[in-house]
Amino acid sequence: MARLSVNVDHVATLRQVRGGNYPDPIHAAVIADLAGANGITVHLRQDRRHIQERDVYLISHIVKSHLTLEMAPTEEMFAVAKQMVPDMVTLVPERQQELTTEGGLNLLEEPQYLENYINRLQKEVGCVVCLFINPDEEMVKNADRLKADFVELHTGAYAEAKDIEEEIKQLRQIERMAHLGYKLKLGVNAGHGLNYHNVANIAKISPIEELSIGHSIIARSVFVGLERAIKEMLELIG
């Protein structure tokens, strides 16, 4: 059974629209914890468009469940991770113009830099390191070569499929890459674009250990409340 990590970035997005102090992602993280979520995910972007250092710090000290910090592989973010000491760091690509993360890391670019960065996170911060990648054989194999602990398979192409044939094709690709990661002794997570309509098939892929889901849960919570939205998602992936 896959675990659920609730991404609370979009609670912070609402807060930042008005520049005030509510709604507070800390409050959302506590509700998620109490509702049965297995973890909390936050993405501290370099432009600080939603989550702030204060949010990461407080969540790491208040919430009892597993904390995943998504971040770009930069020296600035390394310093943050070293200060916050999350349970897991998921390295993601960032472009300032993007609305949300558009694809996985290209592990063929600066592989020596990435390998050193991963090693430093593991040894100096003491956290598990996950790489957010497209469900591609070369990327999965390179994650293993770079000595990452986990991969998170980008499920965007599956979530955005225009017809059932394309959806099945993308689902099968994710399944193959999940099994490849498992064979290479990598932990396997998945996320991006997952919602109440498409999550069940991904959750059935046995090597996948954790699903990172944010936008659809926060959107659903507008109508039913955050606790119920999380419990409904847990039922679907359970």
At residue 100, the pLDDT reads: 61
- Asked whether the predicted pLDDT for residue 52 surpasses 60, the reply is yes
At residue 96, the pLDDT reads: 67
Distance CA 65, CA 219 (A): 22
Of 220, 126, 222, give the one whose Cα is nearest residue 232. 220
Query: Would you state the structure tokens that stand for residue 19, as one six-digit string?
Result: 């520049």
Q: Is 43 known to be catalytic?
A: yes
Give the pLDDT mean for 32-61: 96
Q: What is the pLDDT of residues 64-123, one digit of tens each?
A: 899 999 999 999 999 999 999 999 999 999 876 655 666 899 999 999 999 999 999 999
Confidence of residue 238 (pLDDT cuts 50, 70, 90): confident
Distance CA 183, CA 160 (A): 28
At residue 99, the pLDDT reads: 58
Domain that holds residue 200: 3-237
Q: What is the pLDDT of residues 178-228, one digit of tens each?
A: 999 999 999 999 999 999 999 999 999 999 999 999 999 999 999 999 999
Q: Is 61 known to be catalytic?
A: no
Burial 149-181 (b: 16+ CB within 10 A, else e): bbbbbbbbbbbebeeeeebeebbebbbebbbbb
Percent of the chain with pLDDT over 90: 94
What is the CATH classification number for the domain harbouring 213? Answer: 3.20.20.70
The active-site residue, picked from 10, 43, 50, 154, is: 43
Please state the pTM of the whole predicted model: 0.95
Q: Is 70 known to be catalytic?
A: yes
SS3 4: strand
Burial 135-148 (b: 16+ CB within 10 A, else e): bbeebbbbbeebeb
The active-site residue, picked from 10, 50, 154, 192, is: 192
Contacts of residue 77, defined as CB under 8 A and 6 or more positions apart, other chains included, come to: 44, 46, 71
At residue 103, the pLDDT reads: 83
Give how many domains the chain has, as a whole number. Answer: 1
